[in-house]
């Protein structure tokens, strides 16, 4: 019996470094970049950031000031990351990147999408910037001032545009008055 206990204990001790490594890897996948939070809309009452150069405004969940300089927008999503992030998520972070560039006069290095199960760095590439500016130009040309409505009432209810949206829905599918 003592031999079995010794073998079991030594086996657990041998597995401990592997388990610690797995926990560290999992934590790194979920962790945000190191930095100081300089803006937070976690409570939903932060000041809306407004571009001085174009009709663009927004409220990222967080803005981090990185240790090596620069600011990074962080957007939290309550759902899990799928095979690919939704294109709308990428455009949202891209819009925050353009907004920060307009406000600071220099481009941020990347943005972060924080899903329920992991974080994704979204590089601020010329392609992403061009696409955001193209979509913004289309919205302005069409006279759109709010994003299109969402078919999911629970997401619609949490949307920051809900008070001014013509397409806001309740949980029962009826249009809000």
Domain with 163, as residue range(s), is: 146-177
pTM, rounded to two decimals: 0.67
| Mean pLDDT, residues 74-85 | 88
Domain shared by 56 and 115, yes or no: yes
Domain shared by 122 and 100, yes or no: yes
Domain shared by 55 and 124, yes or no: yes
Q: Answer whether residue 105 shows pLDDT above 70.
A: yes
Domain shared by 69 and 37, yes or no: yes
Q: Report pLDDT digits (tens) over 118-131.
A: 899 999 999 999 99
Q: Report pLDDT digits (tens) over 15-70.
A: 445 543 333 334 334 467 788 999 999 888 888 899 999 988 899 999 999 988 88
Domains of the chain: total: 2
Place of tokens 């220099």: 106
Domain shared by 164 and 94, yes or no: no
Q: Answer whether residue 6 shows pLDDT above 90.
A: no
Stronger pLDDT, 94 or 29, i.e. the higher one: 94
């Amino acid at each position: 019996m003592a031999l079995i206990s010794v073998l079991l204990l030594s086996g657990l001790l041998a597995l401990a470094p592997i388990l610690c490594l797995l926990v560290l890897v999992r934590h790194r996948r979920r962790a945000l970049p190191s930095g100081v939070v300089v803006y937070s809309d976690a409570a939903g009452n932060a000041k809306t950031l407004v571009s001085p150069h174009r009709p663009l405004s927004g409220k990222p969940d967080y803005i981090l000031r990185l240790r090596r300089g620069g600011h990074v927008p962080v957007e939290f999503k309550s759902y899990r990351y799928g095979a690919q992030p939704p294109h709308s998520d990428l455009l949202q972070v891209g819009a925050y990147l353009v907004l920060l560039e307009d406000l600071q006069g220099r481009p941020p290095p990347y943005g972060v999408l924080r899903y329920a199960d992991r974080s994704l760095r979204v590089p601020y590439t010329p392609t992403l910037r061009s696409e955001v500016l193209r979509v913004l130009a289309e919205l302005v040309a069409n006279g759109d001032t709010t994003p299109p409505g969402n078919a999911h009432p629970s997401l619609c209810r949490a949307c920051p545009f809900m008070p001014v949206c013509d397409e806001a829905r309740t949980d029962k599918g009826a249009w809000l008055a």
